[in-house]
């Protein structure tokens, strides 16, 4: 069991970080010193006007902020279920790269659409990053078209159906789609960088 915990250490660390940020957000009104940290819904989420004004850190901090226990739990279940699987497949470093690419890519698509439409949404959560992991599952399934690959493909199709269909009016489809595409693209690039290096 200790080996499994060690293998999934990045997934576990991400869950702990998200949980810690949520707790800090709850404590922020009661502990003034925490006001310097972008851990609350008001201070760290994606909102085009303030990001355009210079608060670019929100592209990253928004990935770790959630607006309630249900929102947090649903995303952390995704990290646990998909992350623990893909961390073993990709390795720790590449897993983290794909996770971050999904979260950042999803947030950038939200910003782009807000800029183009002039309609600014407030977006937080790790769902873009989780969708990025799903995108990497799809790439792994397509590359490994054996029995294991087909099993992965069935999982990603089922999970995508669940996550791409908005369950509430507040779900950001743009963050989900952007995260999925970014995670898939990063997984594909990492795979082909291996092939290129092996051929040299």
Q: Which residues carry out catalysis?
A: 127, 176
Token digits for 23?
A: 């707790």
* Cα–Cα dist 108/98, whole Å: 15
What is the C-alpha to C-alpha distance for residues 21 and 19, in angstroms, rounded to an integer?
6
- What proportions of the chain, in percent to the nearest 5, are helix, strand and coil? 80, 0, 20
Phi-psi region of 54 (alpha: psi -120 to 50; beta: other; left: phi over 0): left
- Rounded to whole angstroms, the Cα distance separating 178 from 107 reads 7
């Amino acid at each position: 069991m200790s080996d499994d915990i060690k293998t999934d250490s990045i997934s576990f660390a991400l869950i702990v970080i998200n949980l810690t940020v949520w707790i800090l957000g709850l404590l922020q009104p009661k502990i003034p010193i925490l006001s310097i940290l972008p851990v609350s819904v008001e201070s760290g989420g994606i909102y085009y006007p303030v990001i355009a004004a210079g608060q670019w850190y929100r592209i990253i901090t928004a990935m770790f902020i959630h607006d309630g226990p249900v929102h947090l739990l649903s995303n952390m279940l995704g990290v646990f279920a998909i992350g623990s699987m893909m961390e073993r497949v990709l390795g720790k470093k590449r897993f983290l790269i794909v996770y971050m690419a999904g979260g950042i890519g999803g947030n950038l698509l939200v910003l782009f659409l807000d800029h183009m439409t002039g309609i600014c949404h407030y977006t937080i959560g790790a769902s873009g990053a989780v969708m990025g992991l799903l995108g990497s599952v799809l790439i792994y399934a397509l590359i490994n078209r054996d029995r294991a690959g087909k099993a992965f493909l069935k999982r990603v199709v089922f999970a995508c159906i669940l996550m791409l269909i908005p369950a509430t009016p507040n779900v950001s489809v743009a963050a989900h789609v952007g995260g999925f595409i970014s995670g898939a693209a990063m997984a594909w690039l990492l795979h082909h960088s291996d092939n290129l290096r092996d051929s040299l």
